[in-house]
Structure 1
């Protein structure tokens, strides 16, 4: 991986885990110092993140971390539901029985992972991977690219939401695959939509919990980013 790409990924990890707090202005001088880079490659990374919706950029005011806004999160979940259900319907047409059996095996292994604080980040990663594997069975790279981008953009909210939903989430993954194995596309699509969809009031409650997490220990940031960014060689 090129050093500029590595810098982009590291800054994105900080942003998506809210190591920098919602609404906070990015101190480019300090961040460049932490990463051991000049401001030029850092500015390139920040411009890219702003163009992808991870940051807000204002002329003469620099870059800010996007706030945890319930309405914005709702629009991302609505978009996610449409994209993932579309990918599932193509997967139902195109995926082989062997491919669906492999997805079922992955879902079963994920369900059997220990449920504790040490494994929390891995459980989130497994949840994201299930949805990406399902999208990959569509045979359409654009669906997979969109879902990966959505996973990045809602990672923190999803992390908080999963704290009370992990067992139900894994069980629903298994049920979705069972419907696909039975070639019952409509049942699989309906369950996936319910699995993803959140009401605005639910999102508001998750965001309240998210702010509490951010302003206490923020376990996701501690795991994903660590206590300090590594210098870029």
Structure 2
């Protein structure tokens, strides 16, 4: 049983990363036999991993057709951005209420240390990783494990689009667009215990990229299906 559990977890993590980055094309049917061979895993733990990913929104299951990669469309991405804004507005509000001074100081140190890495020359994948780390740390300060879990899911499902978004932002607006200033404003509100201010800064930080979602999805398709 432990061996099967380990196999399920390994397959889950590998396939989640593949689905998040659209290593499988949108709506592509997954070949379970090929994946089983590729991951050196039997069909039973593989099916359990696929079911977990379906429940989390990374895959879909069609009766009589099997598992497919999730779709990539502006409406779904818009829903996820809006969900993330709502989740993180609440985590920021709770962080302002509950975070201890030592926890805030540790996050201030992290933000200061990461500031030099926010440049137009850095990989957009690295920028997204840095951004997600800050947001997850704020969520942890909320003390609400369910909100952290919801954030992890939403962040993973929009990660591919966010990489494209940050790349375009950097190319279009240059170095001034790549900054930790929004994070600094969020953290200051948290440190001040300003619940509504922290929530407002967080929602504004996330929502300002909503208008770019449709264009980013179009670009994502062009890159995924480029010859």
Q: Corresponding residue for 1:187?
A: 197
CA RMSD of aligned residues (A): 2.2
1:8-19 to structure 2, matched below 5 A, reads: 8-19=12-23
- The alignment status of 1:107 with 2:107, answered yes or no, reads no
Q: Corresponding residue for 2:128?
A: 124
Q: 1:201: Cα distance to partner?
A: 4.4
Query: 1:115/1:199 Cα in 2 relative to 1: closer, same or farther (>3 Å)?
Result: closer
Q: Distance in 2 between matches of 1:15 and 1:118?
A: 24
Query: Mean Cα displacement is larger for which, 109-118 or 151-160?
Result: 109-118
Q: Distance in 1 between matches of 2:196 and 2:48?
A: 44
**TM-score normalized by the length of structure 1:** 0.84
| Structure 2 gap ranges (5+) | 171-176
Q: Corresponding residue for 2:66?
A: 62
Q: 1:185: Cα distance to partner?
A: 3.0
Q: 1:108: Cα distance to partner?
A: 2.1
Q: What is the CA deviation profile of residues 163-203 of structure 1, one whole-angstrom value per residue up to 9, with x for unaligned ones? A: 24464452211221122223333332222111111576421
| Structure 1 gap ranges (5+) | 218-233
Give the aligned length.
217
Does the CA-based 8 Å contact 1:77-1:198 persist in structure 2? Answer: no
Q: Corresponding residue for 2:148?
A: 144
Query: Mean Cα displacement is larger for which, 33-42 or 151-160?
Result: 33-42
Quick one: higher RCO (CA 8 Å, sep 6+), 1 or 2? 1
Query: Mean Cα displacement is larger for which, 54-63 or 101-110?
Result: 101-110
Does the CA-based 8 Å contact 1:88-1:134 persist in structure 2? Answer: yes
**TM-score normalized by the length of structure 2:** 0.86
Does the CA-based 8 Å contact 2:96-2:192 persist in structure 1? Answer: no
Q: 1:150: Cα distance to partner?
A: 1.3
- The alignment status of 1:36 with 2:40, answered yes or no, reads yes
Query: Mean Cα displacement is larger for which, 70-79 or 167-176?
Result: 167-176
